[in-house]
């Protein structure tokens, strides 16, 4: 009896110890989480400054940003999120050849586990930063050209799907905004679709969370308005522009700037009286001491009166032109630097000599060309400059030049629209809520299965549930250890540890069956060019990394029905089921291009690229495996003799 009592007492003591340990660990975890969240917010704010204020006239100068970076100690902190933000900051100014770069340097590789940690801390910041990472990497690789979209759009679509599974609507909407920006380069209807999909779930911009709220409702409304203006659908443009003004008025942040889009839309519809009403409303909210706001207001009124084009407002147009010309403003934003040259040219069109007008036109063109270099998306400014030159020549009475610029504008618009609609546009009518519900349903099914297997119940907050949870966890760990041990033995037998591909023996066993079933297929034997030279020059660890990278690149590109293995030290054997020679050569070309882009390696500071040669056999009917492999070796040797990155192909009949 006494022994049972003592045993029970010991068990209770052990349980109390574990309970106190859990409470203590939870308290410590809460403190660490709070500190990490505080650091994350600070880094996110710094990154926002780097992206939107560095080398750009704003309230925050480069010197201010450098000072904030030094205070944050981000260069010296070794936390996982600091690694992410250092990479993003450094990448943001990598291509700045003629302007200062941000003084932040990459110290260590950016690993996937760091991104997973950031996603668990803040899906909203993760969505913005990872989308930006996709964009800036591709932009740097393609020197800012629109060719980057071949990389960015597929990657962002995958990110969008990932965010749908989290159920965080703001995070999904943020990725949609990045997608819309990339689609705008070539596929305007898809861009509009992403914007409308995201709009209901976007936040209102906040100074407390500047990064994750940068792509907000106002931005989406402005992009929708501009998109519909570009597509010459001013009625829809006006609808979104009016919503934008109303939303900013509700938040008491409306200014003269916000009336640019509704006035452009009204003028495009020929509703000039509505434009004048907007101008009157803009005057009521404009701070007269703010010269930038005053400049915008004058420009809006001048543009509208010019389009009305009656003799009654001629004197008013002259007065407005002079008012704009005489405004003394420092640090005019790039988007507005053409207003004063335009006003001066317009004034000279009305009262100046031919020489003065010609000189004013030359200056206006010079400023717009410079403006195009400053703006991230100069398309609007380019088209706008052509219509403005048409207006200036018409005001001068030079109808021949006015007509010439009208034709230039029309040609540019046709070219632009042809480029934009270069491939089929399909609008997907889908609700984000429906997509999230579907993703949640799938996740819930997985969670339910997991809970059933672990024996969890809803009363896990009680002491009895805590004990059961501990016992279950121990048993689960034991079962998991046994399973992993068996799995490890199986993996070591069938899979290559370095590349994740099949081992040679597992591949040959699989191919013996596949060659009898698949009547039309291809086999390719790949060998890394000058592999021994890589080992001798950079060391065996770099050599192993090259093999690993090629293996993972193959794994990502081939289909699920295909098979591949590490056939030798630097050789891979790939079996393409139901494939022909042309399809296989295309895939090998893609693999070759991907390897050619890989310049930097973890275990050396030196950059170099690699290539591989291949022997490809096209199979027709049932074939003997040994016979096929001999042909692959023979073709590979021929490819090696021809030089680097050569694919040698041949068809063989059954034997």
Q: Who's near 553: CB < 8 A, 6+ residues apart?
A: 591, 594, 595
Do 509 and 591 reside in the same domain of the chain? yes
Do 527 and 614 reside in the same domain of the chain? yes
Do 465 and 518 reside in the same domain of the chain? no
Per-residue pLDDT tens for 337-353? 888 898 898 888 888 89
pLDDT band, very low/low/confident/very high, at 424 (cuts 50, 70, 90)? very low
How much is the average pLDDT of 162-167?
Answer: 93
Considering the domain boundaries, does residue 600 fall inside one? yes
Do 592 and 646 reside in the same domain of the chain? yes
Listed residue (378, 549, 423) closest to 150, CA to CA: 423
Per-residue pLDDT tens for 58-68? 788 899 999 99
Give the pLDDT score at 429: 46
Considering the domain boundaries, does residue 565 fall inside one? yes
In the chain, % of residues over pLDDT 90: 37
Do 574 and 648 reside in the same domain of the chain? yes
Do 512 and 609 reside in the same domain of the chain? yes
- Among 468, 494, 520, give the residue marking a domain's end: 494
Do 518 and 607 reside in the same domain of the chain? yes
Looking at the DSSP assignment, which residues form a beta bridge with residue 502?
A: 495, 565
pLDDT value at 81 more than 80 = yes
Which residues constitute the domain of residue 620? 504-652
Considering the domain boundaries, does residue 524 fall inside one? yes
Do 532 and 644 reside in the same domain of the chain? yes
Per-residue pLDDT tens for 534-591? 999 999 999 999 999 999 999 999 988 899 999 999 999 999 988 889 999 999 999 9
- Among 474, 494, 514, give the residue marking a domain's end: 494
Do 535 and 609 reside in the same domain of the chain? yes
Quick one: CA dihedral 469, 470, 472, 477, positive or negative? positive
Distance CA 504, CA 408 (A): 64
Do 586 and 513 reside in the same domain of the chain? yes
Give the pLDDT score at 378: 65
Considering the domain boundaries, does residue 462 fall inside one? yes
pTM of the model: 0.58
CATH number assigned to the domain comprising residue 532: 3.30.70.270
pLDDT value at 241 more than 80 = yes
Listed residue (179, 151, 194, 233) closest to 427, CA to CA: 194
Considering the domain boundaries, does residue 542 fall inside one? yes
Q: Which single residue is written with the structure tokens 């979209």?
A: 149
pLDDT band, very low/low/confident/very high, at 329 (cuts 50, 70, 90)? confident
3-state SS assignment for residue 460: coil
Considering the domain boundaries, does residue 479 fall inside one? yes
How much is the average pLDDT of 81-99?
Answer: 87
Give the pLDDT score at 19: 53
Per-residue pLDDT tens for 355-407? 999 999 999 999 888 888 777 666 667 778 888 888 888 888 888 888 888 88
pLDDT value at 147 more than 90 = no
Q: Who's near 4: CB < 8 A, 6+ residues apart?
A: none
Per-residue pLDDT tens for 433-450? 666 665 665 566 566 556
Considering the domain boundaries, does residue 602 fall inside one? yes
Structure tokens, 486 = 């068996």
pLDDT band, very low/low/confident/very high, at 168 (cuts 50, 70, 90)? very high
C-alpha 325 chain-centroid distance: 41
pLDDT value at 23 more than 90 = no
How much is the average pLDDT of 609-633?
Answer: 88
Looking at the DSSP assignment, which residues form a beta bridge with residue 575?
A: 523, 563
pLDDT band, very low/low/confident/very high, at 155 (cuts 50, 70, 90)? very high
Q: How many domains does the chain contain in total?
A: 2
Do 460 and 599 reside in the same domain of the chain? no
- Among 464, 494, 524, give the residue marking a domain's end: 494
Do 484 and 610 reside in the same domain of the chain? no
Per-residue pLDDT tens for 453-470? 555 444 444 555 555 666
Structure tokens, 255 = 């200014």
């Amino acid at each position: 009896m006494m022994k049972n009592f003592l045993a029970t007492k010991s068990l209770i003591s052990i349980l109390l110890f574990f309970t106190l340990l859990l409470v203590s660990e939870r308290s410590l975890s809460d403190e660490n989480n709070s500190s990490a969240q505080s650091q994350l917010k600070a880094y996110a704010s710094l990154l926002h400054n780097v992206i939107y204020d560095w080398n750009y006239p704003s309230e925050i100068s480069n010197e201010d940003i450098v000072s904030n970076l030094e205070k944050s100690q981000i260069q010296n902190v070794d936390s996982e999120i600091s690694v992410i933000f250092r990479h993003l900051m450094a990448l943001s100014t990598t291509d700045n050849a003629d302007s200062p770069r941000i003084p932040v340097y990459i110290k260590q590789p950016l690993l996937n586990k760091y991104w997973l940690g950031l996603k668990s801390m803040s899906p909203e910041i993760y969505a913005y930063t990872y989308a930006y990472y996709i964009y800036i990497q591709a932009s740097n690789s393609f020197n800012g050209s629109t060719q980057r979209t071949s990389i960015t759009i597929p990657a962002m679509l995958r990110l969008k799907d990932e965010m749908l599974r989290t159920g965080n609507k703001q995070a999904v909407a943020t990725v949609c905004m990045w997608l819309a920006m990339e689609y705008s380069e070539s596929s305007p209807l898809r861009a509009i679709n992403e914007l409308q999909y995201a709009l209901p779930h976007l936040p209102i911009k906040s100074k407390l969370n500047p990064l994750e709220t940068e792509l907000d409702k106002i931005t989406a409304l402005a992009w929708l308005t501009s998109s519909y203006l570009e597509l010459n659908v001013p009625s829809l443009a006006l609808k979104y522009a009016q919503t934008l003004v109303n939303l900013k008025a509700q938040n008491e942040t409306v200014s003269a700037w916000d009336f640019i889009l509704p006035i452009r839309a009204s003028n495009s519809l020929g509703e000039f009286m509505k434009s004048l009403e907007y101008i009157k409303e803009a005057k009521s909210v404009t701070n007269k001491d703010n010269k930038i706001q005053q400049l915008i207001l004058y420009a809006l009124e001048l543009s509208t009166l010019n389009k009305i084009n009656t003799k009654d407002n001629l004197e008013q147009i002259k007065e407005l032109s002079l008012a704009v010309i005489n405004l003394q403003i420092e640090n005019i934003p790039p988007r507005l630097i053409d207003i004063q040259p335009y006003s001066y040219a317009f004034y000279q069109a009305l009262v100046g000599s031919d020489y003065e007008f010609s000189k004013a036109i030359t200056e206006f063109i010079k400023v717009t060309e410079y403006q195009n270099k400053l703006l991230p998306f100069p398309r609007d400014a380019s088209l706008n400059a052509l219509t403005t030159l048409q207006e200036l020549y018409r005001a001068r009475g030079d109808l021949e030049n006015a007509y010439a610029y009208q034709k230039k504008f029309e040609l540019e618009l046709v070219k632009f629209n042809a480029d934009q609609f270069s491939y089929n546009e399909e609008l997907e009518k889908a609700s984000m809520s429906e997509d999230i519900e579907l993703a949640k349903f799938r996740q819930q099914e997985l969670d339910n299965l997991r809970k059933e297997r672990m024996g969890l119940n809803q009363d896990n907050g009680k002491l009895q549930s805590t004990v059961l949870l501990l016992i279950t966890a121990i048993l689960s760990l034991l079962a998991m250890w046994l399973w992993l041990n068996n799995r490890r033995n199986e993996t070591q037998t069938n899979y290559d540890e370095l590349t994740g591909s099949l081992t040679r023996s597992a591949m040959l066993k699989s191919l013996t069956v596949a060659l009898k079933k698949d009547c039309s297929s291809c086999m390719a034997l790949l060998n890394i060019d000058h592999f021994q030279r890589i080992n001798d020059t950079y060391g065996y660890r770099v050599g192993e990394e090259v093999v690993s990278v090629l293996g993972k690149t193959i794994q990502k590109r081939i289909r699920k029905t295909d098979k591949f293995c590490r056939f030798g030290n630097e050789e891979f054997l790939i079996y393409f089921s139901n494939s022909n020679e042309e399809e296989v050569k295309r895939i090998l070309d893609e693999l070759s291009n991907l390897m050619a882009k890989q310049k930097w390696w973890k275990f050396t500071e030196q950059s170099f690229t690699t290539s591989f040669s291949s022997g490809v056999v096209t199979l027709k009917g049932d074939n003997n495996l040994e016979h096929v492999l001999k042909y692959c070796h023979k073709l590979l040797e021929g490819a090696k003799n021809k030089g680097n990155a050569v694919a040698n192909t041949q068809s063989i009949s059954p034997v």
